[in-house]
Structure 1
Amino acid sequence: MLVEEVKLIQYRNYKELELQFHPKLNILVGENAQGKTNVLEALYLCAIGKSFRTNKDQEMINMVKESAYVKVKVKKQTDKVDIEVLLNKEKNKKIKINKLSLTKYGDLLGNLNIVLFSPEDLKIIKEGPSERRKFMNNDISQILPKYYYTLNQYNKILQQRNKILKDFRGKKFDLEIWDEQLVNSGTWLMIYRRNFIKRIALLAKLTHRKITDGLEELEIHYDSNIKVKDNDEFEEIKNKFLKQLKENKDLEMMRRLTLTGPHRDDMIFKINGLEVKNYGSQGQQRTAVLSLKLAELELMKGEVGEYPILLLDDVMSELDGKRQNYLIQNLKNVQTFITTTIIEPLNIKNKQQHKLFTVCNGEVSTISSK
């Protein structure tokens, strides 16, 4: 999978920009706040349908304009795909695939698969469960688009169930209908998540072992709110879910909130048996995330048959020389986009195939291409 070209019009600080990319390594170098990350954000937008920096589409539009346009040309093993996104300050965004308008954002997923690694990804380890659920949701949705629809359905049911609980004022009401719907969607989410984490955990463990020369062992576990076992099947999980809902009913009525379900799931990262969030050094936390990101690449390759695009947004400064070299040397088969303020520490070899861009105040120039 390759991004051949991107076109931006009134996107962030770009009035108009058109770039052709190298099939291997693309490096955007420049000072901070010049527009390097904006290019990566545009690629991510065309893959996921949203930004990785903001929840407001309007913020991606040039401040003095009413709309923005992004087009990405993608080359896959079997075909070519043109993805267009039109952003408008007054309307919902519009997405087209090969000039055909999409009625559902979920239909975008899978046309361009992307793995993003930025300093913000350290939140996966350092911060609360919502960051880890966000990671699961984004990744599984790319691999399995039906997960995206199941997640949306679950969230709508959860929202309605919470509304009923919040509106409770000592009156009698029945949650059974909502419980049944919540459990059906939620059970599938847990199965998808369990299977995903099982696969990515093995890949991350092997990668982490190589990076640390076998001195550290990384474990990743699915911490299900329903305590799902590896061998539990749909009906077993569903029955456990229903039972836990009934047991928590009085507490939920008191707190006016749904306390049971995959919306409270988590992931646990351990190195040599100790939880990384609480006991890992900063270096160990960074290495764990690096291992996770490299595992994402391999997992997507195994699922869809070709490597995704890798975006490295100012992440090299977060890694020491050893980990930088390991990363660069293991990206030979992956089209990669790197943003950086300084090129020298990347240690790009003269013979290494790459394209180098300089970014300054919304203007991009090609320095070299090999």
Structure 2
Amino acid sequence: MHLQKITLVNFKNFESQTFDFQEKINCFVGNNGVGKTNVLDAIYYLSFAKSYFNSVATQNIRHSEEFFMIEGTYKINEKTDTVVCSLKRGNKKVVKRNGKSYEKFSDHIGYLPLVIISPADRDLITDGSDTRRKFIDNVISQSDNHYLQDIIKYNKVLVQRNSLLKYFALNRTFDAVNLKVYDEQLERYGTIIYEKRKAFLEEFIPIFKKRYEVISSSQETVDLVYKTQLDEVGFLDLLTQNVARDRMLQFTSAGIHKDDLTFEIEGYPIKKFGSQGQQKSYLIALKLAQFDFIKKQSNLKPILLLDDIFDKLDDLRVEQLISLVNNNEFGQLFITDTHRERTEEVVKKAKQPYKIFQL
């Protein structure tokens, strides 16, 4: 699978631009602020129907314009597919494949597998548990649409249960029977999600550790630990044990929406005890393991986006990344960098067809 062409209209800083891509390596070079990362974000948009960097969809529309449109042409095995994402102010976002609109964007997730490595990934270490849960959910969802549907259903029931808890507090009342209806639905979807997260991490963690070992030249040991309340107690019992607390807080304080991942190095949290170089290596290993997992599940090599990668890595790590290209482990790559000469010198070593776009 590869992206042959993309057209951007009023997307971020682009008024109207078309790029024709090389099947293997494509590089966007230029000064900061010219839109290199915006092109990668447009490619990401075609896979996930949303921006990687900005969750407010209307803020991706070019200033003073009323809409944006992204169109991509893909070669998947022997067929050609066209995907269009567009948004007009005041209207709902539209995603089409070969001219047909999706009723649910979730049906599109996983069709165009993609992994991005970006400086923004540091949020996985520094931000709260929600960011790490989204990482797990993103990886699983690209190969399991049922999982994504269960997440959507779980979150919908969670909102309804929280609204009921607020209603109880506001009206100084309580109805255990009514609450149990939501508890049973949370238990149904939540248990499925828990089991799938657990099974995924059992397969994913060894892949991640192997990737880190290569990147760091086996200098230290790392781990990825799944933290969940469901390891200790069943879902319904968990909700029952916390009902008094939930009534006081007016929201659901326990469940799979509280799951987390602990990133560890030598048995300690990498956030506190890892150097900058170790944290970078950790995040890259995490994303490359994501790539490996999705490739195995989908039988397709995901598109790989490397944003500002050379500025963030030392020469050794860059060489190791490029060696993976030589081994034909990757499919199509998109790279951004501020230095054309540096980029060209590195990609030449890959001995693969490449194209450089000066922005």
Whether these two folds match at TM > 0.5 is yes
Cα deviation for residue 78 of structure 1 reads 5.4
Select which of 337, 341, 350 maps to 2:338: 341
Q: 1:326 aligns with which of 287, 305, 320?
A: 320
Deviations 1:119-152 (A, max 9, x none): 1101112222111012112222112112111111
Identity %: 34
SS class of match (1:278): helix
Partners of 1:315 and 1:19 lie apart in 2 by: 21
Instruction: Give the equivalent residue in structure 1 for 2:224.
Output: 220
Q: Secondary structure at the match of 1:15?
A: strand
Normalising by structure 2, what TM-score? 0.93
Structure 1 unmatched runs, 5+: 229-238, 360-370
1:235 corresponds to: none
Contact 2:125 2:271 in 1 (8 A): yes
- Of 189, 199, 202 in structure 2, the residue corresponding to residue 198 of structure 1 is 202
Question: Any idea what SS the aligned residue of 1:125 has?
Answer: helix
Structure 1 position 314, deviation (Å): 1.3
AA of the residue aligned to 2:296? G
Q: Which amino acid aligns with 2:348?
A: K
Kindly indicate whether residue 204 of structure 2 is the aligned counterpart of residue 210 of structure 1.
no
Counterpart for residue 182 of structure 1: 186
Task: Report the equivalent of 1:61.
Answer: 61
Work out whether residues 305 and 333 of structure 2, in 8 Å CA contact, stay in contact via their aligned partners in 1.
yes
Give the aligned CA root-mean-square deviation in angstroms. Answer: 1.5
Give, in whole Å, the separation in 2 of the partners of 1:345 and 1:30: 12
Stretch moving more, 211-220 or 181-190: 211-220
Structure 2: runs of 5+ lacking an equivalent: none
CA deviations on 1:204-235 (whole Å, 9 max, x unpaired) are 1011111222222221121113227xxxxxxx
Give the corresponding residue for 1:131.
Answer: 131
- 1:252, CA displacement in angstroms? 1.1
**Mean Cα deviation higher: 295-304 or 75-84:** 75-84
Tell me the CA shift for residue 61 of structure 1: 1.4
Instruction: Say whether 1:105 aligns with 2:105.
Output: yes
**Is the contact between residue 24 and residue 335 of structure 1 (CA under 8 Å) also seen in structure 2?**
yes
Question: In the aligned structure 2, how far is the partner of 1:19 from the partner of 1:211?
Answer: 32
SS of 1:203 mapped into structure 2: helix
Alignment partner, residue 146 of structure 1? 146
Distance (Å, rounded) in 2 between the aligned partners of 1:220 and 1:344: 37
Q: Is the 8 A contact 1:204 1:218 kept in 2?
A: no
> Would the aligned equivalents of 1:26 and 1:355 in 2 still touch at CA under 8 Å?
yes
SS at match of 1:226: helix
- Cα distance in structure 2, aligned partners of 1:82 and 1:159: 36
Q: Residue 172 of structure 1: which of 174, 178, 183 is its match?
A: 174
- Render the CA deviation track for 1:81-134: whole Å, top value 9, x for unaligned: 211112111101111111111111111112211101111101112222111012
Residue 25 of structure 2 is aligned to residue 30 of structure 1: no
Where do residues 42-61 of structure 1 align in structure 2 (5 Å cutoff)? 42-61=42-61
Counterparts of 2:151 and 2:164, CA distance in 1:
20
The question of whether the paired residues in 2 share the 8 Å contact of 1:218 and 1:270 is answered with yes
Contact kept in structure 1, 2:28 and 2:335, CA below 8 Å:
yes
Distance 1:43 1:125 in 2: 25
- Give the match for residue 74 of structure 2: 74
Amino acid at match of 1:124: L
Residue matched to 1:306: 300
CA distance in 2, matches of 1:340, 1:261: 42
Q: 1:316 to 1:198 in 2, by over 3 A?
A: farther
The two structures have a TM-score, normalised by structure 1, of 0.91
Q: Following the alignment from structure 2 to structure 1, what is the Cα–Cα distance between the partners of residues 210 and 100? A: 42
Instruction: Provide the secondary structure at the position in 1 that maps to 2:290.
Output: helix
CA shift in 2, pair 1:81/1:110, >3 Å: farther
Aligned length: 349
Q: CA deviation at 1:352?
A: 3.9
Contact 2:113 2:300 in 1 (8 A): no
C-alpha contact (below 8 Å) 1:84/1:97 kept by paired residues: yes
- 1:172-221 Cα distance to aligned partner (Å, 9 max, x none): 21211100001111111111211222222111101111122222222112
Any conservation in 2 of the 1:81–1:111 contact (CA below 8 Å)? no
Which is helix-richer, 1 or 2? 2
**1:115 and 2:109 aligned:** no
SS of structure 1 residue aligned to 2:301: coil
**2:248 alignment counterpart:** 254
Between the aligned partners of 1:25 and 1:140, the Cα distance in structure 2 is 26
Which deviates further from its counterpart, 193-202 or 156-165? Answer: 193-202
Q: Check the 8 A contact 1:21/1:355 in 2, yes or no.
A: yes
CA distance 1:296–1:159, shift in 2 (3 Å):
same
Query: 2: distance between equivalents of 1:78 and 1:222?
Result: 40
Give the AA of the match of 1:163: S
- Tell me how far apart the structure 2 counterparts of residues 156 and 144 of structure 1 sit (CA, whole Å): 19
